[in-house]
Amino acid sequence: MKLNSGGLKLSAAYILYAAVVITLAYFTDDPKGRFVLGSLAWAPAGVTFGILHLFPVMYRHAWTNTPYFLFPACLVIVYLIGWAISTANRRLFYPRRYLTTRFVLCLAVIPIMAELVAGALYAVVDGGDPVNGALKSPSYFLLLTYSDLPVPGLACATADWTLRSGKWLRLGTIAGVGFISTLLSLYGLFPRGGWQWPILRPGLAVAIAAFAFCWLLDQLTKERSGNLGPTVHTTAKLSGDEAN
């Protein structure tokens, strides 16, 4: 049985992320901070189970709240997400459809990732609960996310659509577009109280989410993207030959 390369890449990224978060939790002296970081490690399973309203069932079975269950569950969920993204790109991989797919994915996913990153920053700096709102009411969380961050999501998706050359410079530019568009759409040029950390946090969260998600899309479609240039060149050449 051949496993999907996109799912494996995203699973590897999750393993690295979980290892970093668990290591930080291990060296944290604050019990609340340790709990928050531990919750972040199992965020894929927590958000998925919250959306499916499975917590009442899990509360009756203590073993579902252990790393022996949560880690494999997160791996399966992350693998399926990677498989779905890579499969969609493979089936829709024509130059225009591919860009459209990326545009829609950025528009839909970056605001959600940004809210989760903002929650993580809030937890690390201020000691809050990063995923409590998303787990208690996923529908309200999504409504709040898309009502607060439509402009940054659209700006990042547009930047990813238009910027096709360069790797790190392109990703950095997309992150910068997300940062600036968030601050301007939420607070304007002159926010009350000046540019303080609570005001900068949403922009930083969008920048991190946009950079990470566009990088993941690049990794999931690297092989197909490499074949795009020759395909387009061959198609153009054949069209010219037919015209002559």
Instruction: Give the range among 30-34, 51-55, 237-241 with minimum mean pLDDT.
Output: 237-241
Give the pLDDT band (50/70/90) at residue 173: very high
Cα–Cα dist 224/221, whole Å: 5
Cα–Cα dist 82/135, whole Å: 22
Please report, in angstroms and rounded to a whole number, the separation of the first and last CA atoms in the chain.
47
Cα–Cα dist 91/124, whole Å: 40
- Measured CA to CA in angstroms, residue 78 lies from 9, 83, 185 at distances of 10, 9, 31
Q: What are the tokens at 96?
A: 């225009």
**Could you tell me if 215 and 171 are in contact, meaning their C-beta atoms sit under 8 angstroms apart?**
yes
Cα–Cα dist 206/184, whole Å: 13
| 116 backbone dihedrals φ, ψ, rounded to 5° | -70, -40
Percentages helix, strand, coil for the chain, rounded to the nearest 5?
A: 85, 0, 15
Angle at CA 166, nearest 5°, toward 163 and 168? Answer: 100
Q: What string of DSSP letters covers 78-132?
A: HHHHHHHHHHHHHHT-SHHHHHHHHHHHHHHHHHHHHHHHHHHHHHHHH---SSH
Using the predicted structure, report yes or no on whether residue 239 has a pLDDT greater than 60.
Answer: no
Cα dihedral 143/103/219/47 (nearest 10): 10
Using the predicted structure, report yes or no on whether residue 199 has a pLDDT greater than 50.
Answer: yes
Give the pLDDT band (50/70/90) at residue 114: confident
Cα–Cα dist 233/225, whole Å: 13
Using the predicted structure, report yes or no on whether residue 64 has a pLDDT greater than 80.
Answer: yes
Nearest to 77 by CA among 53, 52, 50, 48: 48
Using the predicted structure, report yes or no on whether residue 45 has a pLDDT greater than 80.
Answer: yes
| H or E segment and range at residue 43 | helix 43-51
> Which 3 state secondary structure label does DSSP give 52?
coil
User: What integer pLDDT is reported at residue 137 of this predicted model?
Assistant: 59
Cα–Cα dist 200/121, whole Å: 11
Supply the mean pLDDT for the chain.
Answer: 76
